Structure 1
Amino acid sequence: MDLRRWNVKHVRMTLDGAAAFVPFARDVAEIRAQVGSQAIEALLESARADIGADIPALPAELYLEYQRTGRREGYEDAQRARRNMLYRLTLTEWLEQSGEFVAAAENLLWARLEETNWAWPAHARTLDFPDRPTVDLAAAMSGLDLAEADYLLGDKLSPQLRARIRSETNRRTIAPFLERNDHWWLHTTPAKQVNNWTAVCVAGVVGAACYFETDLDRLAEIITRGLHSLADYLDTFDSQGGSSEGPDYWSYGFGNYVVLAHLLAERTGGQIDLLDLPIVREIAQFPVRTVLTQGVWASFSDSDSNPSFHPGLLSYLAKNLDLPALTELGTRNDFGVQMFNQFVWPLRQYAWPLPDKSVAFGGTPHDWFADMGWMISRLDPADPKSLRLAIKGGHNDEMHNQNDVGSLIVVQGGKVVLTDPGRGRYSKAYFGPERYANIMTSSRGHSVPVVNGFEQAEGAERAAKVLVHSNGADRDELALDMAAAYPAKAGLRQLQRSVSFDRHAPGGRIALSDSFSFANGGGIFNRCW
């Protein structure tokens, strides 16, 4: 299924005659049995504490803190606390059906509707005009949050509140998505490639429309626009399903793609199936192919070495794509509903809990992402303490880019002994013109050379060329031509990095060599470790 082949007429036809939209069970007895009494009791205790708690304030002064100082945590943390309270109250009422938590949930829902901006300060930069809301990650997630809370609580909510939820979700997310073309994340252009934002924003807006939109002609337009946008998102992946954003953003971006896949399948009677694409099965295996050892993943770009994979996401993909290794990555069900960015994850963790497995998948001996130039080698996948290597080529204009052509990670004894720094502290400067002054994003913070005092430069042309890649039972090799990653002032004529992973040597052995020459005969070549 090519997502770009869908048009409004075809989507409209799928909506005709589709069964009632019931994405989650009305009868929660089976869910309660799967989750278990201990988790239910813990959720019940937390939700009862939320009933009497103050709703965190989100004043304009706090929103504008980012604009004035570059700090984003103040507003985001208070907003997240507010949302987590609502998630707990809504889930508890859905599972308990007692009526005890409805009034407190209504208070929080009204508070969310009264927020001046749903977009985060780092994205909107200042307070929105009422007629031109910013549709960012947080705004799109808010629309779907409210739609799913409305679905779970249903007629327990007042009709005035339910009408206001629909009106505000349309004004702030659905209508701007359908009527405006100024969303940078909507499509890839010569000036900008889409990334995880596309999946998150499309899932939020189109997902909310699946719940709320009763005009099937309009809903068909919304879905079609979303499908064409998601086609651009899928184009960001390597042919082996890899993402230069790393495993962390796989969980976030592709996770939301899967959220929408479920909702669209339910809304269209299975006629639109976003999982029924060969590349999607490859993408779904990315965390399996990038695990270095138990609890440690390749941390290239702005990805952490120990990312959080949502249990419900892994469970749903494992079941629907027959990928049992996704349930063996060490992720466990955590029903605490703490520090989630959106309601979809705690809801789906309860609806789709992971099976309790003690198996820990350790990868395969070798994984290779040809389009990105990533090689991952493991001495003995069954032994988590054995030697592991990850190295990347790529270029310096990737999604969540760091200037890191040639960076490598080494794991021994279950611990990272040579690291790629991964994510830095997100701030105004981190995503601004000063980005590559930051040690976390500059090549000086990576295990790559400094040449005549010059670091690598940013840009798609600052790329590695793969000269050699081979793998076998005893040995993996990768050779990269890295000279183009450096500015002309560095004076390089040639720079080749060669890495071999020798499984035949006792305990395994990694050998690295850099061969280089200067255009003017001499210079200073320093490695950073």
Structure 2
Amino acid sequence: MPATLYMDFFRTGNRHRFELPYFQRRQVLAILVLAEWLQGEGRFLDDIINGVWAICEESSWVLPAHHNQFYRTNQNDPLPRTCEPVIDLFAAETGALLAWSLHLLGQPLEQKAPAVPHRILGELGTRILDPYLRRDDFWWMGLLETSHSLGNWVPWTTGNCLRCFLLAEPDAKRRLAAVRKGLRSLDVYLGEYSPDGGCDEGPSYWGRSGGSLFECLEMLTLLTDEAFDPFQLELIQRIGQYMYKVHIAGEYFVNFADGSAKAEVEGSLLYCYGKRIADPDLCDLGAQLYQLSGLWGQLRPLTFSLGRLIRSALWHGEIEAYSKAERSVSAYHWLEHVQVITARETTTGSGFFLGAKGGHNGENHNHNDVGSYIVFYDGFPLIIDVGVETYTAQTFSAKRYELWTMRSNFHNLPIMNGRGQSPGRSFHAAHVLCRNEGDSATLTMDLSPAYPGEAGVQNLTRSLKLKRKGRARILIVDQYRLDYADSIQFVFMLAHKPQLQGDTV
């Protein structure tokens, strides 16, 4: 890939043009390695050698959107610094891909091209192993004060670095040092995690947040022959259970913030998490998702991991044969710390589904959406959260909230006197009260603290109620008191174009 393609992000802010061939190269190698490992006939070794060599020849494995975050000085380079190797999400992911390739196919690669395994070891040492042990100032380690939010980067990057050590580092002392350092990072991450298990990045990012945490903990559990077993801890169990609490139906999940409504989370990962914590509901969800898309479904995201493909290949038979017991779904969940409610009309999953949030506007992957909600019926979307567009330089910049998808104006919220909500943790819901009373579930909150002073909002109490008895329905009631009233708008983001018939929609 040419240098100017790497420079494209610096020049234009476009991420896609570089990232597409970058990820495709890794996709192809991962599939070839998996195929050769399963067949063992040598058919794919030449192409694997070409893929490994091409990746090793890249000047950097760090994305153009990330590399300037980690240099010690002058963080404004259009090209990566080969003299200062740094580690981001995908440098670590690339390292893990090569470490798995070496672990699974080291012997046939040694026989066919001895330089390839040695090249892998050398590149891993220079780009991953040495910087990981030497540096404490990568913000995703959580070891020094940082302005960054410690979300999915911590377990995702830490986990892949540990895989590189455990699969490819010959020195036992260095392996132990890496594990100790990784545990420190995971402790920091868990210390900031919501006590109710809620992921403020949403279900789409859970796969690389709570899901990557599970992989880290499982890896260390296996490494110690289960002497280390954190899966009985309540928080670890809640982190897994979060996923069925925000599941709607089929592939649909509650998707506040940057997440997609169809969360690309591996069913095999959820299934194995459920087995570890002995939770049949999580096993059910994992099996359901896996049976919907199978092993091939994991190849849809550009950023899939070889380790997760291996997991799915190993568990494929059991999950495909899994038969869900007749169990009802919960009609109500309330995650009090992230302030998310999910409520259903019935325990069979039919009828209305309501998801709504309070919280604040300083969350990970935040949108200005305090008080927003979504509505589904029989598993199909009616009132929606539109999610996010393709990431660019602007997405994670000071101009983030100039993007339409981030603003209150395109969420299911009131716009008061032409002004939506403001970003930042201080803009939040107040007096939040959630109740489930059998025939109804209700979330009530004051949204006025989420708006800037210029909006003139003295009080804005929103009540969202799902009524189950009689004629099932969802009621949204907004009561407000303003300093002045130039304009008042109520936004509804709909999955389908509304049809007006008289005074009904």
TM-score normalised by structure 1 residue count: 0.84
Distance 2:150 2:271 in 1: 27
Equivalent in the alignment of 1:350: 313
CA contact (8 A) 2:349 2:378 kept: no
Aligned residue pairs: how many? Answer: 469
Q: What is the rounded CA distance, in whole Å, between the counterparts of 1:363 and 1:421 in structure 2?
A: 26
Are 1:92 and 2:35 an aligned pair? yes
Q: 2:476 aligns to what SS in structure 1?
A: strand
User: 2 CA distance for matches of 1:273 and 1:171?
Assistant: 32
Between the aligned partners of 1:226 and 1:135, the Cα distance in structure 2 is 14
Determine the structure 2 residue equivalent to 1:155.
107
Q: What amino acid sits opposite 2:315 in the alignment? A: W
User: Pairwise mapping of residues 83-122 of structure 1 onto structure 2 (< 5 A)?
Assistant: 83-122=26-65
Cα-to-partner distance string for 1:412-464 (whole Å, 9 max, x where unaligned): 13221111122222111122122111111111110111111111000000011
Q: Any conservation in 1 of the 2:140–2:154 contact (CA below 8 Å)?
A: yes
User: Which structure 2 residue ranges, 5 or more long, are not aligned?
Assistant: 69-77, 493-505
Is contact 1:367–1:375 with CA below 8 Å preserved after alignment? yes
User: Conserved in 1, the CA contact under 8 Å of 2:34 and 2:306?
Assistant: no
Partner of 1:36: none
Checking the alignment, whether the CA contact within 8 Å between 1:261 and 1:274 is kept in structure 2 is: yes
Q: Which moved more, 1:321-330 or 1:109-118?
A: 321-330
> Is 1:376 aligned with 2:332?
no
Q: Specify whether residues 222 and 482 from structure 1 end up closer, same or farther in structure 2 by C-alpha distance, changes over 3 A only.
A: same
What is the one-letter code of the residue matched to 2:478?
Answer: D
Could you say which residue in structure 2 is the equivalent of 1:127? 79
Query: C-alpha displacement at 1:525, in angstroms?
Result: 2.5
Amino acid at match of 1:510: I
Give the aligned partner of residue 504 of structure 1.
469
Q: Does the alignment pair 1:335 with 2:295? A: yes
Match of 1:482 among 447, 455, 458: 447
Q: Is contact 1:110–1:161 with CA below 8 Å preserved after alignment?
A: yes
Q: CA deviation at 1:357?
A: 4.5
Identity rate of aligned residues, in percent? 29
Give the structure, 1 or 2, with the largest relative contact order (CA under 8 Å, sep 6 or more): 1
Whole-Å separation in 1 of the counterparts to 2:309 and 2:6: 26
Question: 2:150 aligned to 182, 194, 197, which one?
Answer: 194
Report if the CA contact (8 A) 1:409-1:420 is conserved. yes
Aligned Cα root-mean-square deviation (Å): 1.9
What do residues 382-426 of structure 1 show as CA deviations (whole Å, max 9, x unaligned)?
143x10100100000100101000000011132211111222221
CA deviation map 1:282-323 (0-9, x unaligned): 111111000123322101011111112213212311222222
- Check the 8 A contact 1:482/1:495 in 2, yes or no: yes
Name the stretch that deviates more: 155-164 or 113-122: 155-164
Are the aligned partners of 1:80 and 1:339 in contact in 2 as well (CA < 8 Å)?
A: no
**Distance in 1 between residues matched to 2:368 and 2:36, nearest whole Å:** 48
Q: Measure how far apart 1:380 and its partner are.
A: 1.0
**Separation in structure 2 between the aligned mates of residue 194 and residue 97 of structure 1, nearest angstrom:** 41
1:184 corresponds to 2:144: no
Task: Write out per-residue CA displacement over residues 199-239 of structure 1, whole angstroms, 9 at most, x where no aligned residue.
Answer: 11100101211112232222222111111111222234322
Residue 101 of structure 2 aligns with an amino acid whose one-letter code is A
1:63 maps to a residue whose letter is Y
What secondary structure, in the 3-state scheme, does the structure 2 residue paired with 1:303 have? coil
Alpha-carbon shift at residue 137 of structure 1 (Å): 0.7
- Superposition map of 1:35-434 within 5 A: 58-124=1-67, 126-158=78-110, 159-187=114-142, 189=145, 191-329=147-285, 330-331=288-289, 332=291, 334-336=294-296, 337-341=299-303, 342-353=305-316, 354-357=319-322, 359=324, 363-384=329-350, 386-434=351-399
For the Cα contact (< 8 Å) 1:424–1:441, is it kept in 2? no
1:458 pairs with 2:458:
no
For 1:298 and 1:311, the matched residues in 2 are separated by: 17
Task: Tell me the SS of whatever aligns to 1:77.
Answer: helix
CA distance in 2, matches of 1:361, 1:338: 30
Residue pair 2:109, 2:117 contacting (<8 A) in 1 also: yes
Q: Distance in 1 between matches of 2:322 and 2:392?
A: 38
Query: 2:502 corresponds to which residue?
Result: none
After superposing on structure 2, the runs of 4+ consecutive aligned residues of structure 1 that deviate more than 6 Å are none
Q: Which residue of 2 aligns with 1:33?
A: none
User: Are 1:389 and 1:409, in contact at CA under 8 Å, matched by a contact in 2?
Assistant: yes
1:143 and 1:273 mapped to 2: Cα distance?
A: 26
Q: Secondary structure at the match of 1:146?
A: helix
Offset of residue 105 of structure 1: 0.8
- Whole-angstrom distance in 2 between the partners of 1:182 and 1:137: 15
Offset of residue 338 of structure 1: 5.0
In the alignment, the residues of structure 2 paired with residue 62 and residue 366 of structure 1 have an alpha-carbon distance, to the nearest angstrom, of 49
One-letter amino acid matched to 2:295: F
Deviation at 1:514, TM superposition (A): 1.2
Distance 1:74 1:467, change over 3 A: closer
Q: Does the 8 A contact of 2:329 with 2:349 survive in 1?
A: no
Per-residue deviation, 1:194: 0.3
Q: Tell me the CA shift for residue 522 of structure 1.
A: 4.3
Instruction: Look up the SS of the partner of 1:420 in the other structure.
Output: coil
2:97–2:306 contact (8 Å) kept in structure 1: yes
3-state DSSP of counterpart to 2:33: helix
